[in-house]
């Protein structure tokens, strides 16, 4: 019997996690006779009672394990932790806030059974999504394709199925410190199938992605996959230098010919302010790339696991980048 692992990041979902698990269990009921299924909830600790709720779910459902981080490392780190833990023949990742419908899982598995290595879901936004947010999302994916060469469909979500060889590639060969998984999944290649779905209103609370978080997410994607911002700096630098040279020649000609009185302080002040702003802009772009290099050089673990719940009982993790609990599972032969 083959194995399927389901990875669900959790952060402050006390109000919906029980309902989500019931819905997930119902959705995968038809797969249980063909596959051994495990469900891993990766929890970023918070002040609510999400951990207690998940411990109770783990005690009632033998398929469920809970991995708790030492602090909040973020959504992408939670997905990385899930892939490190994964030892199944396929991995399915979806959010636990009820906006990724678990009922789609049998369809994802069917495409995998048909030979797909990656089954990527495509979000169709409902009327509750603001028009400006839809537009900026579309612009971002189009920009990333043009400057980074990575084909990410508009609306691509972190709800996908990955075959074991894709997970192995991402886990062992792609070890960057600031992973942009939506781009990496498209970058690795393999056979991809897209499955659309309609988003559902949040069952409780608000999105954890604040505008600043979305901006950082977009910048991470751009700087991870493109050198175009650096080349833009070179192009703008040459353009500003050319304009400055031409303007200087024109001022000299006007001054020598006496046809126009060239003001001094105003033009000098404007030029200095403009060039200063351009330099700060260039330094900011360089700083983004340097910060990525800095993170790679430090080579810190992308997350640290604190404890793990199995059958409702907690046990301490070793605190390394990958849990020892996953090591033995990774050696498990497939049936």
Residue 214 lies inside a defined structural domain of this protein: no
- Whether residue 236 is found in the same domain as residue 200: no
- The better pLDDT of the pair 148, 222 is held by 222
Residue 165 lies inside a defined structural domain of this protein: yes
Task: Answer whether 85's CB lies under 8 Å from 67's CB.
Answer: yes
The model's confidence at residue 258, banded by pLDDT at 50, 70 and 90, is: low
Task: Answer whether 278's CB lies under 8 Å from 238's CB.
Answer: no
- Whether residue 281 is found in the same domain as residue 316: no
- Whether residue 20 is found in the same domain as residue 73: yes
Give the per-residue pLDDT at 333.
Answer: 44
The mean per-residue pLDDT over the stretch 9-25 comes to: 87
State the Cα–Cα distance between residues 9 and 95, nearest whole angstrom.
Answer: 6
Checking if the pLDDT of 37 tops 60, the result is yes
- Whether residue 60 is found in the same domain as residue 147: yes
Q: What is the DSSP letter of 333?
A: P
The model's confidence at residue 321, banded by pLDDT at 50, 70 and 90, is: very low
- Whether residue 143 is found in the same domain as residue 247: no
- Whether residue 168 is found in the same domain as residue 275: no
The model's confidence at residue 147, banded by pLDDT at 50, 70 and 90, is: low
- The structure tokens listed for 32 are 């249980």
From residue 72, give the alpha-carbon distance in Å to each of 47, 77, 207: 11, 9, 16
- Residues with Cβ within 8 Å of residue 196, at least 6 apart in sequence: 121, 122, 123, 124, 155
Task: Answer whether 317's CB lies under 8 Å from 323's CB.
Answer: yes
Give the number of domains in the chain.
Answer: 2
Give the per-residue pLDDT at 318.
Answer: 65
- The terminus-to-terminus CA distance of the chain in angstroms comes to 5
User: Tell me, what CATH number does 191's domain have?
Assistant: 3.90.550.10
- Whether residue 32 is found in the same domain as residue 138: yes
Q: What is the pLDDT of residues 99-129, one digit of tens each?
A: 888 999 999 999 998 889 999 888 876 665 6
- Whether residue 256 is found in the same domain as residue 307: no
How far is C-alpha 270 from the geometric centre of its chain's CA atoms?
Answer: 41
State the Cα–Cα distance between residues 42 and 95, nearest whole angstrom.
Answer: 10
Question: Angle between the 131-148 and 211-225 helix axes, to the nearest 10 degrees?
Answer: 10
Give the per-residue pLDDT at 204.
Answer: 60
Residue 40 lies inside a defined structural domain of this protein: yes
- Whether residue 287 is found in the same domain as residue 305: no
The mean per-residue pLDDT over the stretch 218-245 comes to: 70
In the chain, the DSSP E strands lie at 2-10, 35-43, 64-69, 90-93, 118-124, 156-163, 192-198, 305-310, 313-316
- Whether residue 109 is found in the same domain as residue 123: yes
Residue 223 lies inside a defined structural domain of this protein: no
- Whether residue 164 is found in the same domain as residue 281: no
Structural domain span for residue 250:
228-298
Give the least confident one: 27-41, 145-159, 180-194, 312-326: 312-326
- Whether residue 24 is found in the same domain as residue 140: yes
Task: With CA atoms as reference, report the closest residue to 199 among 76, 97, 301.
Answer: 97
Measured on CA atoms in the order 49, 55, 61, 67, is the torsion positive or negative?
positive
């Amino acid at each position: 019997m083959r194995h399927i692992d389901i990875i669900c990041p959790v952060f402050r979902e006390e109000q919906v996690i029980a309902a989500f698990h019931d819905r997930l269990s119902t959705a995968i009921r038809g797969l249980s006779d063909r596959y051994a299924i495990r469900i891993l909830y990766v929890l970023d600790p918070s002040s609510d009672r999400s951990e207690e709720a998940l411990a109770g779910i783990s005690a009632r459902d033998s398929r469920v394990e809970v991995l708790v981080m030492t602090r909040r490392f973020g959504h992408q780190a939670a997905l990385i932790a899930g892939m490190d833990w994964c030892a199944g023949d396929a991995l399915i990742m979806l959010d636990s806030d009820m906006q990724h419908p678990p009922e789609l899982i049998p369809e994802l598995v069917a495409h995998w059974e048909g030979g797909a290595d990656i089954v990527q879901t495509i979000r169709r936004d409902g009327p509750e999504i603001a028009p400006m947010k839809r537009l900026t999302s579309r612009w971002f994916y189009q920009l990333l394709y043009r400057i980074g060469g990575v084909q990410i469909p508009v609306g691509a979500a972190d709800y996908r199925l990955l075959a074991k060889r894709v997970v192995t590639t991402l886990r062992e060969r792609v070890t960057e410190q600031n992973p942009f998984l939506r781009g990496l999944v498209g970058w690795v290649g393999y056979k991809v199938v897209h499955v659309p779905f309609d988003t559902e209103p949040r069952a409780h609370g608000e999105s954890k992605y604040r505008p600043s978080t979305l901006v950082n997410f977009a910048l991470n994607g751009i700087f991870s996959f493109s050198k175009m911002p650096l080349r833009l700096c070179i192009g703008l630098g040459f353009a500003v230098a050319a304009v400055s040279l031409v303007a200087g020649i024109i001022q000299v000609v006007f001054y020598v010919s006496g046809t126009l009185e060239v003001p001094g302080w105003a033009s000098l002040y404007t030029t200095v302010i403009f060039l200063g702003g351009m330099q700060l802009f260039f330094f900011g772009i360089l700083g983004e790339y340097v910060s990525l290099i800095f993170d790679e050089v430090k080579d810190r673990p992308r997350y640290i696991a604190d404890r793990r719940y199995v059958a409702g009982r907690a046990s301490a993790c070793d605190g390394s980048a990958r849990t020892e609990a996953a090591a033995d599972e990774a050696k498990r032969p497939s049936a």
